[in-house]
Amino acid sequence: MTYDRSSVEAVVNHYFDGLYEGSAEKLGAIFHPTADLRWLENGELKVLSVPDWLDRVAKRPSAKAEGKPRNDFVMTIDRSDENTAFIKVKCQLPPRYFTDYLVAMKLADGWRIVSKSYRYDLVE
């Protein structure tokens, strides 16, 4: 079965804008407040709550303000039904080049990212 991708793509584009602009407000609008971020660091699973992540985003200089190049794109959107999507994206905040795995769900107030796992390459 095929599902409309446009509403999910709109959330992803908002995500890309928020990351590049360093906008905790934009990112907070599309992440569910109970979501978390997960990644491996030196072989250990790290977990960060969305409120703590947004606080970090608000305090760091944005890639846009630093004049860093923007390059982000969707690799995959996998819809299992009309309310659930798995999204794989590539994005960069040099010197980090990310692959993000986002799970989004259509809730009463629209599409929200409920989980983010990621990895990155550090290029100096």
**Residue 35 Cα distances to 53, 69, 79, 97, angstroms:** 10, 28, 19, 22
What is the third-level CATH fold of 6-122? Nuclear Transport Factor 2; Chain: A, (3.10.450)
pLDDT digits (tens, 9 = 90+) for 25-45: 999 999 999 999 999 999 999
pLDDT digits (tens, 9 = 90+) for 46-93: 999 999 999 999 999 999 999 999 999 999 999 989 999 999 999 999
pLDDT digits (tens, 9 = 90+) for 101-121: 999 999 999 999 999 999 999
Please list the residues that pair with 5 across neighbouring strands. Answer: none
3-state helix vs strand vs coil in the chain, percent to 5: 25, 45, 25
Please, how many CA atoms are within 13 Å of residue 96, restricted to the half-sphere of its CB?
11
Q: What is the mean pLDDT of residues 21-27?
A: 97
d(CA 85, CA 77): 7
Burial of 44: CB neighbours in 10 Å, binned 0-12, 13-18, 19+: exposed
- What is the per-residue pLDDT for 5? 77
| In the predicted structure, residue 1 carries a pLDDT above the cut 60 | no
- Residue at 71: amino acid letter: N
| In the predicted structure, residue 124 carries a pLDDT above the cut 70 | yes
